[in-house]
């Protein structure tokens, strides 16, 4: 069965400093992996996705993530945080064995300090 | 494109009442998903449809919940009777293709409060 663990429930960074959100997954098959962002009282928006092509994936708003099969990780990074990055971030896994369903991590809430 | 549209955005009701949540997927999308988000359980998939047909409803919590998709542009999630533990944000999402690699697009959600 597929599963996702987001290692930090909260991350606090200063504006202009790097952001690292950690995600580990478990999957029986070659997974597809996604990062979604949810701003307060909003729906979820896709940041980026990995679908078995390049292991380094670039997304919107300067975010990128690297798929590391040996570590079963898909960590999200951004070199310089902006105040608008304050939100909750979800790591998501999906594989064929799960019938195209998404499994969400518990979320990481990011606070950006001025 | 207008994106996924959900209504109402907020619903407050009393225990025992029927609640109907509505969703209009993005035009041309063939898969539709209903999720529930709570602090305790996070985001959970309730049910999803491909081409208007329910494929997997294993996430529907109990018989009080039902979902329909009478056509490609409309779906409902009904709770009857509602209970306070049903209070949550309910999201609808749609996807163009029925493949794992395709992106799901989420609506803004309906915040349901059952008193």
- Residue pLDDT, tens place only, A28-85: 778 889 999 999 888 899 999 998 778 899 999 999 999 999 999 999 999 999 999 9
Q: Which pair of tokens denotes residue A34?
A: 């996604």
- Distance, CA of A73 to CA of A55 (rounded, Å): 11
Instruction: Specify the pairing of strand A73-78 against strand A87-94.
Output: unpaired
Residue B74 sits at the chain A interface (C-beta within 8 Å): no
At B40-93, the pLDDT tens digits run: 888 999 999 999 999 989 899 889 999 999 999 999 999 999 999 999 999 999
Whether A102 shows a pLDDT value over 70: the answer reads: yes
Quote the pLDDT of residue A101.
79
Grade residue B1 by pLDDT with cuts at 50, 70 and 90.
low
Alpha carbon separation from A110 to A7, A82, A83, B112 (Å, rounded): 13, 11, 10, 25
Q: List all residues of chain A from 50 to 89 with a beta carbon under 8 Å from chain B.
A: 51-52
Query: What is the separation, in whole angstroms, between the first and last Cα of chain A?
Result: 41
- Distance, CA of B58 to CA of A5 (rounded, Å): 22
CB contact under 8 A, A101 and B48: yes
CA distance B105 to chain A (A): 7
Whether A93 shows a pLDDT value over 70: the answer reads: yes
Residues of B in contact with A42 (CB under 8 A): 108-109
CA distance A76 to chain B (A): 18
Residues of A in contact with B107 (CB under 8 A): 43
Quote the pLDDT of residue A107.
95
Quote the pLDDT of residue A42.
85
Residue A113 sits at the chain B interface (C-beta within 8 Å): no
**Highest mean pLDDT (candidates A14-18, A24-28, B29-33):** A14-18
For A70, residues 6+ apart whose C-beta sits below 8 A from its C-beta are: none
CB contact under 8 A, B108 and A94: no
Of the partner residues A100, A104, A105, the one whose CB lies closest to the CB of residue B100? A100
Q: Among all residues of chain A, which has the CA nearest to that of B92?
A: A43
Q: In the predicted model, what is the mean pLDDT of chain B?
A: 93
Quote the pLDDT of residue A85.
96
CA distance B27 to chain A (A): 18
CB contact under 8 A, A43 and B101: no
CA distance B99 to chain A (A): 6
At B101-115, the pLDDT tens digits run: 788 999 999 999 999
């Amino acid at each position: 069965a597929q599963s996702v663990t987001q290692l930090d429930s909260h991350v606090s960074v200063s504006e202009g400093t790097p952001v690292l959100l950690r995600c580990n997954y478990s999957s029986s098959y070659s997974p597809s992996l996604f990062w979604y962002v949810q701003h307060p009282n909003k729906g979820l928006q896709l940041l980026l996705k990995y679908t078995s092509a390049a292991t380094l994936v670039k997304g919107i708003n300067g975010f990128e993530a690297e798929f590391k099969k040996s570590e079963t990780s898909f960590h999200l990074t951004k070199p310089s945080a902006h105040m608008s990055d304050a939100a909750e971030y979800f790591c998501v896994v999906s594989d064929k064995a799960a019938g195209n369903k998404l499994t969400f991590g518990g979320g990481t809430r990011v606070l950006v300090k001025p | 494109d207008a994106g996924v549209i959900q209504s109402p955005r907020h619903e407050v009701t009393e225990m025992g009442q029927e609640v109907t949540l509505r969703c209009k997927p993005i035009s041309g999308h063939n898969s539709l998903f209903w999720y529930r988000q709570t602090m305790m359980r996070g985001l959970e998939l309730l049910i999803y449809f491909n081409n208007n047909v329910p494929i997997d409803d294993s996430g529907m919590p109990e018989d009080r919940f039902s979902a329909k998709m009478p056509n490609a542009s409309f779906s409902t999630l009904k709770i009857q009777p509602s209970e306070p533990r049903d209070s949550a944000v309910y999201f609808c999402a749609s996807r163009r293709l029925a493949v794992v690699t395709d992106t799901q697009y989420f609506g803004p959600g309906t915040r349901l409060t059952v008193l």
